[in-house]
Amino acid sequence: MARDYQTTVDLLVQRVRQDGGVAVTDNVATEVLGKCERLLNAHLKRVIVTGSFTTTAKQLIYPYRTTLTAAVDILEVIDITLPTYRTLFKMDSLAQFSAYEVGWFRNITGTRFEAWHQIARDFLIIYPAKAAGATLNIVYTKLVDVYATYAAAAAKNMSLPDDDVETALALAEIILLARNRNAAQIETRLEQFLPLLGLQRSK
């Protein structure tokens, strides 16, 4: 069962008061926790959704967040044109397009989509362009909600799985301790936090 925001925020407030002597309002704690959850989901890719995406004739590059407003990273692009149902190949770089076809950028007459590539977190290349528009399914990491007030979040559940909520809590605690310049406690919390992401501090 998903953990609820109210209980999780209460725990965060309790921790920073006990561990760092930091007084923080429920509203501030709620917003910081929400931003930490959003950041971790972008990194861990836990909340995944599928959306419909309509292409335009003879267009290769799309500002995908105009349509998929809650998208962070694209994970899969699926051609749902009947009778086929195909997952397009992911290109890891623009150089891969050139290796596949030197004139790829001018190829606007393809009979079917073959590959895709995400540029930063704003643009999506779907190759080759086609003479007519079509509909694709896009699988992506969701930009989870951030609540600005405790009251707005109280009846909501956390978006991350329970195990990852602890990681979000740890990160939020570090940020709130840093906000109060509590250096000693930050060091301790960092040592506990980094292993949660499989990281370690450089010597």
Q: What's the rounded Cα separation, in Å, for the pair 159 and 145?
A: 8
Task: Give pLDDT, residue 93.
Answer: 92
Q: What is the pLDDT of residue 9?
A: 95
DSSP string, 9-34: HHHHHHHHHHHH-----HHHHHHHHH
Cβ 146 vs Cβ 159: under 8 Å = no
CA dist 14 and 175 (Å) reads 15
- Per residue in 163-200, pLDDT (tens digit) is 899 999 999 998 888 877 666 666 677 676 666 676 56
Task: Please compute Rg for the chain using Cα positions.
Answer: 22
Q: Count the helix, strand and coil residues of the chain and give each as a percent rounded to the nearest 5.
A: 40, 20, 35
| Residues lower than pLDDT 70 in the chain | 1, 19-22, 181-187, 190, 192-196, 198-203
The answer to whether 136 and 126 have CB atoms below 8 angstroms apart is yes
Q: What pLDDT shows up at residue 179?
A: 78
Which residues make Cβ contacts (< 8 Å) with residue 101, sequence separation at least 6? 107
